[in-house]
Structures are given as structure tokens and as C-alpha cells.
Amino acid sequence: ILRLNELIEDYAPNFRAYLDENPDVEKMITTDEGNIYSFPFIRGDDFLMVFKGPMIRNDWLEKLDLEVPSTIDEWEEVMTTIKENDPNGNGEQDEIPLLLELADIKDYGAFASAWGISPWFYNDNGTVKFGSIEPEFKEFLTTMSRWYELGLLDQDFAAIDSKLRDAKVTSEQLGALYSYTGSGIGKFTGLMEDENPDFQLHATPHPSLNPGEKASLGQIDHPYNGTVAAAVSGSADNPEEIVKWLDYAYSDEGHMLFNFGIEGVSYEMIDGYPTYSEEIMDNPEGLPVTQAMGKYMRASYDGPFVQDRRYMEQYAELPQQKDAIETWAESAENNIKMPPITMTAEENEEYASIMSDLETYYDEMVTRFIMAEEPVEGGFEDFVATLEGMGIQRAIELQQHALDRYNAR
């Protein structure tokens, strides 16, 4: 693929203007050597960067006269009450208070961030750390193991898939989970609308240890997360024309097309606001909003353009979806999140060699700790020693080198 620096300067005035106005984004898309190789997908507003977090059956809380939990102790109290009562009203104590998936624990620090860490690699004021070898992670595992033994955690958490998770929600078994504004709150509210009109799935704050504190980390994306972009092939006959074409998406006209589609068909300008039409929001063919959008625009997917906040303001049409974004954003500090660093080819090869076996061992042992198949006391120290022997400190060093270069860009 082609280095695009000069082509952008000469043939992409709209994209160049955006980068000049947003130097933080330019830093994210530039390599350590100062090269730009792609036109990126950019989330154009903080409102678009938070879309996943903890949520709970609010109708169950109301039925049991419980407040929304915000600390680890409050969560344990609420889950115990759910477990010991019958909020789904079927005459059985078959409720599953909470589902936590291992991927959420690793990626977003789900519940673990209450202890001030991320279980995976995180940025502690410029120093890379791996949270799962820190003492705080032992405390987290001790709590999760106790919750599992008490039946507060889903006993199937290690083998869960989307089909089983959805079935547990729609069969009124699951009280709380970690999920998305759209495919979580939006989807389940729609699925349960006729089945149970009282069904309410509301966001909760990322839990902390003490009242009034914030979790150290929640799900939050970077404006550019390094995963979606368009590059130009080194064998292209007309790279200048390709760059001009890609630049169109970052123009005012292209921005409207990619985010809202065709005026008069997929949206109308109402008081200066691009408002999706019935073709999108109440599709005559019965298409869900996302699929209706997909006929006309890229906003609900991705691509080389800047996503517009006004798309999400309408896509997250339920009040509880909008509340979720604010609740999750406000309840996590997110100062420890790693930026989108890049390693050299040699570093990447060494890092992948270390982490492939290490991650397999990690997933197995964390699952065993939570399921009480391995005692946390005593076993955690052996776990850390094994990670050390598998090269976790070298992996931290490689991450540190990449972070230092990123900060020096």
C-alpha cells in the first residue's frame, strides 16, 4: 500500500483540513516514522465513543424496592436479593443475577476496574502495566469466586455465546449483563415489547469500591481505533484519482451522504437538523433501523468517513439508550486506557509469540479461579509466577516502547 502524505497534501484538501483541526486524530493515524497510509473511520464526537456497559432489569429493582447499584458491595446486596426472591414471578428461584463474560473483563475491565486497574495492559501515567499481575486483580478474583459460589454469577459464563445469552434474557432469567446500547438495550426492549410490557433494561454506572468514586475504566473507543480504514494499493494506476475520491467523504457534501443518505428519501432537513425519514425509522418493508440505514448510508456501520453524532441521537431512539451513554461515560475515569499504539514488525512478531500461549493459559486460569476450581489464595501467586515465566514482563516492555514512541509523535 502507498504512503499517502504527499498525495493527501496535493489531492485531499477536505481530509487535510480535518487533520489540521484535529491533531489528536492525525497523531493516531500516523506511524512512528511520520507516515500516513490510510483514510480512517473516525468517531466524530465523544457521544459516539461509548456504546457498551453494565445494565440491569430495572423492573426487577422496582419490584424488590431496590436502588440501582453503583458499588461492588451494593451489587452484591442487589444480586443476593434477586437470587433469594422471585422477581420474574414464575414461582421458582431460577433467576441468574449477573452474567460477566471473560472478554468483557479483559477488554473493558468489567467490574475489575472498580479496583483501579485494567486486567489487561493499561497506561499508568506513561508507564505500561499488566493489571492481572497486580494485587488488586487478586482481590477482584476473590470477589468473583465468592459470587460464583453464591450463585450470583451465571454458572455458564465460561461457555456463553450470543444465542444462549439472548435466550436467558428473553426467558426472563437474567437480571444483569454487560452489553450494548443497540444490540443490548434496544434489541431486548424490542423483543420483549409484546411478551412483557413491563420489561425494563436500564444502564447502571460502572461499579466502584466506594460511594462517590468512579471506576478506572469502562468501554470507550478512540476517535480512530486502528481497525477500519481505506488504503491505496501500490499497484494502483491512478492513485491521485483514488485519493480525490476518498477525500470526498470528508467534505461537507460527502459527510451528509455517508451519515444521512439522500435528502428527500432517507432524511429531511428540519430546522437545520438532518432528520431520518420514515424510510429509515419506520421502514415500510419492515426492515430494522440498521438495515434500512444500510441501504443509503454508512453511519450505522463504518468506513472511511467521520461519523456524525446526530446519527446516534436518532439511532439510539429509546430514552434509556441515551441515558446509558451518559451513565457509562460519567461513571468511568478512562485515564488509563492505552492509546492506539503500533509496534515494529520485529516487536509484533516477538509480542505475538509471547501472547499466543500466554493468553490461552490466562483465559483458562482466570476461569478456573472464578469457578473455584483453583483457589485464589496461593494459586494467584503461582499464576503470576507462570505469567512471568511465559514472558509477560517482556510483553510489557514491548508495549512500553510502542507507547513511548506514540507519545513522542
pLDDT at residue 183 greater than cutoff 90 = no
Which tens digit of pLDDT belongs to each residue from 59-91? 999 999 999 999 999 999 999 999 999 999 999
User: φ and ψ at 157, to 5 degrees?
Assistant: -55, -35
CA 366 to chain centroid, in Å, comes to: 21
**What pLDDT score was predicted for residue 379?**
97
Q: By C-alpha distance, which of 232, 384, 227, 373 is closest to 303?
A: 227
Task: Find the helix or strand (DSSP H, E) in which 122 lies.
Answer: strand 121-124
How many other C-beta atoms are found inside a 10 Å radius of the C-beta of residue 288? 14
Taking the C-alpha atoms of residue 405 and residue 401, their distance in angstroms, rounded to an integer, is: 6
Give which of 331, 367, 394, 351 is closest to 155, Cα–Cα. 367
Contact of 258 with 269, CB cutoff 8 Å = no
User: Cα–Cα distance between 185 and 73 in angstroms, integer?
Assistant: 25
201 backbone dihedrals φ, ψ, rounded to 5°: -115, 110
Residues 56, 176: contact at Cβ < 8 Å? yes
Instruction: Report the distance separating Cα 109 and Cα 58, nearest Å.
Output: 23
In tens, the pLDDT along 126-158 reads: 999 999 999 999 999 999 999 999 999 999 999
Which are the contacts of 175, defined by CB distance < 8 A and separation ≥ 6? 56, 57, 60, 79, 82, 87, 95, 96, 97, 98
Cα 300 to the chain's mean position, in Å?
15
Q: Which residue has the higher pLDDT, 301 or 96?
A: 96
What is the Cα gyration radius of the chain? 23
Q: Whole-angstrom Cα distance, residue 241 to residue 7?
A: 10
**pLDDT tens, 347-404?**
999 999 999 999 999 999 999 999 999 999 999 999 999 999 999 999 999 999 999 9
Quick: pLDDT tens for 3-28. 999 999 999 999 999 999 999 999 99
- Nearest Cα neighbor of 202 from 220, 175, 166, 221 is 175
Q: How many CB atoms lie within 10 A of CB 214?
A: 19
Alpha carbons 342 and 88: distance in angstroms, whole number: 48
Give the pLDDT of residue 405.
96
Q: Residue 211 in contact with residue 70, Cβ under 8 Å? A: yes
Neighbours of 179 (CB within 10 A): 26
Average pLDDT of the chain, as a whole number? 96
CA nearest neighbour of 120 among 399, 308, 390: 399
CB atoms within 10 A of CB 321: 22
**Amino acid code (one letter) for 244:** K
Separation of alpha carbons 39 and 249, rounded Å: 10
- Alpha carbon distance 140, 71 (integer Å): 13
* pLDDT beyond 90 at 45: yes
Q: What pLDDT, on the 0 to 100 scale, is given for residue 313?
A: 93
Q: Give the residue among 142, 120, 124 at the shortest CA–CA distance from 133.
A: 120
Tens-place pLDDT, residues 315-346: 988 999 999 999 999 999 999 999 999 999 99
Alpha helices in 217-277 (DSSP H): 239-247, 252-260
Please name the residue that has the C-alpha cell 470477589.
Answer: 143
pLDDT at position 50 is 95
d(CA 331, CA 306): 26
Return the amino acid letter for 120.
W
